[in-house]
Amino acid sequence: MICAGFGAIGGPGSKINASSINRAEGAPNNMNKSDLVEIVSERVKNLTRREVEVIIDTIFDKMSGALSKGNRIEIRGFGSFEVRVREPRQGRNPKTGAQVYVNTRRVPFFKVGKELRERVNNNGGGA
């Protein structure tokens, strides 16, 4: 779970977290975009669920667009996103074992921020 407990979604002392999302007992505590929309729409009463969904889609679209242009994104206390270049290399087809040439690739990379790292470590990495 990445987003719960940060910024406007719920700061320190907030009662919104992964366990506040209705889940089947024993199911993993994962969060997806629709869970995030649900949490924000419950928290921000003056916006409809559809408006919250448009806002979250816009944020993700703008972040994706910035990364595709090679820009870096930094969210204080959370982390930073950047694009790294993977150099060309010789690889192997896992099915046949044949050698294949892998071209240069640009891949998104996330570096966790200090505050998030500390929060995860202080909670033991669990829910």
**Beta-bridge mates of residue 102:** 89
> What is the distance between the alpha carbons of residues 100 and 91, in angstroms, rounded to a whole number?
5
Q: Within 13 Å of residue 92, how many CA atoms lie on the same side as its CB? A: 5
All domains of the chain in start order, with CATH: 7-122 (4.10.520.10)
pLDDT string in tens for the chain (127-residue length)? 334 344 444 444 444 444 444 444 445 689 999 999 999 999 999 999 999 999 999 999 999 999 999 999 999 999 999 999 999 999 999 999 999 999 999 999 999 999 999 999 997 555 4
Total Cβ atoms within 10 A of residue 4: 20
End-to-end Cα distance, the chain: 9
Q: Beta-carbon neighbour count of residue 39 at 10 Å?
A: 22
pTM: 0.67
